[in-house]
Structure 1
C-alpha cells in the first residue's frame, strides 16, 4: 500500500479557527513530493520500511523526534511526537528530549547513546561522527542493530529535508496515519 506523508487540508477552516485564537495563519505546502516525484517518494517509503526493521519502536521515535528537532522539521515533529504518544511514550520524555543532556535521568544509557549518535549524524557540519560517540553506540548495539540504527537516522534526516524544503504543514497528522 502506498502512503503519502503530505496532507491536504482545508487551510481556510484552519486559518479561521487560528485567527479567532489570535494565531498566525497556516502556511501552504510548496509542493507535493509524492505527486511530483512519485518514484523517489515510493523508494523513500520502501527505504523507511527497511530501516525500521529490527529497531526498537520506542527508540526509533525518540531518534526521529530528536533529528526532527535539530532539523526544525515541524511536520515530522508533529508526526513522530503523536506516534510516540500513541505508542505509550511519556509526555515528559518527549518534552525533555530537546534538553536531554540536562535530563539524562529520563533515558537509558542505550537511548542516550542512540540520541548522541543521532545528533552526530544529523549535524555533520560540526565535523565527522566522533569516534567516542560511535564507540558508545557500538557498546550498546550489536553490529546489525547499529547498522539499522544508522539507516533509520539517515532516513529521518532525508524525510526532514523533504518536509522542510517543501514546507509540509504540521498539525493535521493522525497517529499511525502512514503506517504500512
Structure 2
C-alpha cells in the first residue's frame, strides 16, 4: 500500500481555524500533566490506531525528553511489562486503551475508578482531553496520509 499524500488535503492549510483550535485544545490538555506521561499516552494511542506518523513523532519526542529505549519498547505490551511503569502510568495507559478503543467495551468502571485513584478531578479531565486530542491527531494524520519521519511542526 502506498501513501500518496499529494492527493490528500493539507488539513492545517485548508482548515486553519480548526487546526489552531485543536492545537490550543492539545496544549490545554497537557497543562499540568507529567511530560513523560503525556508521551506514553500519545505513543500508546498511536500504536492502537496504527498511526505511524504520530508514533514516530512521539517516540522521538519521548527520547528527546530523556525516556529510555527500554520503556519505549515496552509500551505496546505494558500490561505484561508492568514493572517498567508506575501505577499511575499504568492507570493512564489503561484509560488510554479504553478511550481509544471505546467502541469495543466503552470505558469499564474498573478502568475509570483506577484512574481516579491516581489523578485528581482536574488531572483526570486533562488526561481525558489528552486522549481525545491524540486520537484526533491520529485520525488527521491517517486520513491525510502523513508520512512518518516528516514532522511538520515548526
Is the pair's TM-score, using the shorter chain for normalization, greater than 0.5?
yes
**8 Å Cα contact 1:34-1:41 kept in structure 2:** yes
- The structure with the larger Rg is 1
Q: Deviations over 1:78-109 (max 9, x none)?
A: 11000000000011111111111111110000
**8 Å Cα contact 1:66-1:119 kept in structure 2:** yes
- In the superposition, the TM-score normalised over structure 1's length comes to 0.81
Partner of 2:12: 34
**8 Å Cα contact 1:76-1:163 kept in structure 2:** yes
Identify which of 114, 121, 141 aligns with 2:92.
Answer: 114
Q: Deviations over 1:58-97 (max 9, x none)?
A: 0000000000000011110011000000000011111111
**8 Å Cα contact 1:53-1:148 kept in structure 2:** yes
**8 Å Cα contact 1:28-1:169 kept in structure 2:** no
- In the superposition, the TM-score normalised over structure 2's length comes to 0.94
TM-superposed CA distance for 1:27, in Å, is 2.8
Specify the SS of the correspondent of 2:145: coil
Identify which of 130, 135, 145 aligns with 1:157.
Answer: 135
1:72 aligns with 2:50: yes
1:173 aligns with 2:154: no
- Size of the aligned set, in residue pairs, is 152
Identify which of 85, 109, 132 aligns with 2:110.
Answer: 132
**8 Å Cα contact 1:28-1:168 kept in structure 2:** no
Partner of 1:101: 79
